């Protein structure tokens, strides 16, 4: 399974995040989702960001490739994160899966509070202009 996400900054260095709901719980993350069979990674991240946030984006460059194994379900997941820029649009959730309940811009302190493990895994504490794309194996779950 391939999953894509977008790391999008505004002019004030805030990052666009989405609140995902799963059953009775929720978690914050970057906009993104599963790649469908007939699309490229770039097409998938553009579609997912549009559905989840309402923004049209252009992919800038690769941020990271992360890998996870889900033993119980027999899934092997690659999570490909891109830096992206907003071309146009406004916040408007149109998620066909109804998983997204909120979209917001957040500064690094809020990101660290809302999603501490993702903050560390994606090296969000580093200078985005100088970080090299990276690969990480995130374990077996």
Q: SS3 for 134?
A: strand
- pLDDT in the model for residue 78: 96
Spell out the residues 6+ positions from residue 86 whose beta carbon is closer than 8 angstroms to its own: 8, 10, 16, 55, 56, 57
Under a CB-based contact definition with an 8 Å cutoff, are residues 82 and 7 in contact? yes
d(CA 40, CA 47): 11
Q: Domains plus CATH for the chain?
A: 2-140 (3.90.79.10)
- The per-residue pLDDT string of the chain (141 residues; one tens digit each, 9 = 90 and over) reads 899 999 999 999 999 999 999 889 999 999 999 999 999 999 999 999 999 999 999 999 999 999 999 888 888 999 999 999 999 999 999 999 899 999 999 999 999 999 999 888 888 877 777 788 988 888 888
As a whole number of angstroms, the distance between CA 21 and CA 12 comes to 27
């Amino acid at each position: 399974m391939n999953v894509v996400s977008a790391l999008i900054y505004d002019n004030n260095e805030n990052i666009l995040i989405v609140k995902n709901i799963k059953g009775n719980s929720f978690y914050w993350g970057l906009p993104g989702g599963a790649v469908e069979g007939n699309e490229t990674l770039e097409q998938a991240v553009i579609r997912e960001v549009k559905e989840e946030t309402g923004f049209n984006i252009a992919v800038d460059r690769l941020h990271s490739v992360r890998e996870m194994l889900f033993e119980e379900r027999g899934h092997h997941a690659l999570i490909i994160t891109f830096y992206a820029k907003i071309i146009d649009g406004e916040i408007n959730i149109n998620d066909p899966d109804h998983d997204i309940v909120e979209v917001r811009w957040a500064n690094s302190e809020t990101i660290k509070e809302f999603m501490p493990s993702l903050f560390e895994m994606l090296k969000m504490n580093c200078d985005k202009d100088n970080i090299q794309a990276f690969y990480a194996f995130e374990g077996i779950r």
